[in-house]
Structure 1
Amino acid sequence: MSDGKPSFIDVGGAAIAYRRRQGAAPGVVWLGGYRSDMLGTKAEALDAWAAETGHAFLRHDYSGHGESGGAFAEGTISRWLAESLAVLRAFSDGPQVLVGSSMGAWIALRMAQELNRSGEGARLAGLLLLAPAPDFTAALVEPKLSEANRRDLETKGYMEEPSDYSDEPYIYTRALFEDGRANLVLDGIIDTHCPVHILQGKADPDVPYTHAMRLTEHLPADDVTLSLIGDGDHRLSRPQDIALILRSLEGLIARGV
C-alpha cells in the first residue's frame, strides 16, 4: 500500500493530487472511476507491478475526489479530462498505456482523441479499459431517471442516488449531464491509433456487458480485444481479476515495444 504523501499540481485553480513512480517506457497512467480515488485496489496493484517490473506509473485524483482539492459538485467530464491531460503532459515521458476504469475509460478515450488531435498520438502505447462506461451520463443514467430525479435536476441543479459502494449517495449534477453531451464518444468512429483491450464482467450490475460490445463497434480501425469475464462484477478487483488486468497490460506493452 502507498504510504507516501501525494504531490500536487494546480489545474484550473484546483490542487490536483498525483503520485508518480519513475521508470521505463512504456509507462502506465491510471484513470479512476466516478467518485473513486488513486488508492484503490486496482491502482495499488498496478503500482506494485510497476515497482516490480521497473515501468513508470502515474496516477492522480480528479478534482473533488480523494486527496485533490475542488468541489465534487463542480466536476464535469471536460474538467476531469483537462486535469488528466495536464498531469500526463507534466509528469510522464514517452509512450504510455492508459488504464481507465469505468468513467476513467471515458476519460481515456477522450484523452486519446485530444492527444491525436494535438499531434501527440505517439504518446499512446495502448488503452486498457476496465468495465468501460463511456457516455454513461447519456447512455446509462439519463434513460433511468425518474420524474423526481428530473425535477430535482431542474429545480436544484442536482440529484442524489443511493450507492452500492459508499454510505454517501451518488450526486449527479445538471452540469455533468449537459457537459457529458459535449464529450460523447459513441456517436461516431473513435480513432485511438493504438491497441485497445477491454475487460468487462458479464455480472456487472452497473455497466451492462452489451455497453462494452457497443464500444467495440465504434473502434473498427484499431486493434481491439474484448475479454468478457463470466462472473465478473463492476469492481474487477478480485485476485483473479487483478491477475487478468496485469496479463492484459503486459500484452499491450509487448505489442507496443
Structure 2
Amino acid sequence: MSATNGISSGSITVGQGAEAREIAWKRRGAAGKGPALVWLGGYKSDMEGTKALALDAFAAEKGFEAIRFDYSGHGISGGAFSDGTISRWLEESLAVISRFAPEEVILVGSSMGGWIALRAVQEILARGLPVRVKGLVLIAPAPDFTVELIEPALSEAEKHALETLGYFEEPSEYGPEPYIYTRGLIEDGRKNRVLDGLIATGCPVHILQGMRDTSVPYAHALKLMEHLPADDVVLTLIRDGDHRLSRPQDIERLKAALCEIARA
C-alpha cells in the first residue's frame, strides 16, 4: 500500500483459486465527519475518469472519505475483461465496500455502475452487512442493460457470433477499441435484473440523465423511477446532456446531488 497527497492505494484479492483476481483501489481519508463516497464506474471505464476524479476532488473539498477502484479487467486491476459479468463485478464492489467503507456511504454509480449500485444496496440489506447506504447518486444509470437494451437489439449476425464465438463486438463512440459483449455477461445479466419488480433501497436516490444520451435513452431512467416507488427519488433531466455527463456543468450537477444526499 502507498499514499500520496492524502490518497492511499493498493489492491485486494477477490475470489479464490482460479477465480482470484487483484482489484486495485484508491482511498482518500476523511478530514471531517460525513459519509464516505464510493465510486462505481461504467462498462470499460476506470477510476481515473473525469467523473471519478471530480468525485475525489469534491471529497477533498468537503472532508469526506472517497473510495475508488477498478473492476477486474478494467484499468489496473487484474483479471480478463472477457471474464467479466455483473455478478463478478458486484462481488468485487461488495468486497471493496466491506473492506474499506465506514458505517455510512453514498454509492455513486455511472452507467453500468448504476446497476451495480442498485444490486449492491440490495445485497447489503439482504445480508445485513454493517454499512448504511445513506443515498444513491446514479449518473445515466443502465440497470438491466444487457436484458433491456442489448438483447432486444441483437442482429442475426450478433446472435450467431454469440452462439458460435461466445461474444460479439460493437464499435465504441468513445474510443478506437470496440465494446465486447460476451455470452457470459448476457446470461448473467438475466440473473441480476432489478427492473423485474419493485426495488427497495431504503434511501434517497438522485438520478442524473441526459436527454441526448444515445447509449441509455432517458426513457430508461423514467422506467427505473417506476420501480422505486417507496424511495425519495429525484430525477434531473439534462436536455443537452449526453451519456458521459462529464462537462463542467454536468460535474456541478453531480456535486449538487452529492451535497443534497449528504445533507439528507
TM-score by length of 2: 0.94
Q: Is the 8 A contact 1:112 1:121 kept in 2?
A: no
1:139 to 137, 144, 148: 148
Which residue does 2:231 correspond to in 1?
Answer: 222
2:255 to 216, 228, 246: 246
Which residue does 1:10 correspond to in 2?
Answer: 13
CA drift of 1:120 comes to 3.1
Query: Which aligned runs of 4 or more in structure 1 are off by greater than 3 angstroms?
Result: 2-6
1:137-216 to 2 correspondence within 5 Å?
137-216=146-225
CA drift of 1:53 comes to 1.0
Give unmatched runs, 5+ long, in structure 1.
none
When the two chains are superposed, the root-mean-square deviation of aligned CA atoms in Å is 1.3
Structure 1 residue identity aligned to 2:198: I
Verify: 1:51 aligned to 2:60, yes or no. yes
Which deviations, in whole Å up to 9, do the C-alpha atoms of 1:222-242 show, x marking residues without a partner? Answer: 111111000000000000000
Which deviations, in whole Å up to 9, do the C-alpha atoms of 1:13-38 show, x marking residues without a partner? Answer: 10000000111331100000000000
TM-score by length of 1: 0.96
Which residue does 2:115 correspond to in 1?
Answer: 106
Q: Is the 8 A contact 1:25 1:94 kept in 2?
A: no
CA drift of 1:79 comes to 0.3
CA–CA distance in structure 1, aligned partners of residues 43 and 229 of structure 2: 27
CA drift of 1:5 comes to 7.9
CA–CA distance in structure 2, aligned partners of residues 128 and 143 of structure 1: 27
Moved more, 20-29 or 92-101: 20-29
Q: Is the 8 A contact 2:141 2:221 kept in 1?
A: yes
| SS at 1:247 equivalent | helix
State the percentage of identical aligned residues.
61
Q: Is the 8 A contact 2:212 2:242 kept in 1?
A: yes
CA–CA distance in structure 2, aligned partners of residues 184 and 140 of structure 1: 12
Give unmatched runs, 5+ long, in structure 2.
none
Alignment CA distance shift 1:5-1:195 (3 Å): closer
